[in-house]
Structure 1
Amino acid sequence: MDKLLLCLLVVVTLPGAFSQGNTYRKAFVFPTESDTSYVTLFAPAQKPLKAFTVCLQAYTDLTRPPNFLNWQDLKYEIRGEVFLKNQLWP
């Protein structure tokens, strides 16, 4: 009976682990502290951005400040053209 419940649990939760869906109100939890653990979220740009807003809500037990967003890596590609925003504010 225990094996049946375990198999049912795996079958029910496995598709959600590999599906790409809405990440609204979701949490990315890493079980151990590491310098190599990260999450990359991709948002397709339909046209060149004129402005954007990043809202971060985070909780951490780290003793060092976390790096949430690397502002120097801001770039996006539309139809083979790569747009870079070197400076956020003039």
Structure 2
Amino acid sequence: MDEKLWNKLVKLLDQQYVRFSSRIDKLEQKVVSRNDDVFNKMDAVYKEVLDVRQEQIMHTGSHMRIDEDLEENKRKIKKLESKRVIV
């Protein structure tokens, strides 16, 4: 192969390499961007789940306090009934 042809081939290969490298870089940027979008959406959903779970815990806690108050009132009623004198 003569030198001119060889140099032309090398130049062509270099150009192809640059084009492919550029395409690869653009694809990598798109992937990173999409990954960021996915992670941001996952974070938002996770936060929503935590918020809902926190609400459930608070709601359950209020029910537990109501149940405790009810039990305490039942004990007080029984105590008062036991002290009541039947005439």
**TM-score normalised to structure 2 length:** 0.28
More helix per residue: 2
Q: Which has the higher contact order (CA 8 A, sep 6+)?
A: 1
More strand by share: 1
| TM score, norm. by length of structure 1 | 0.28
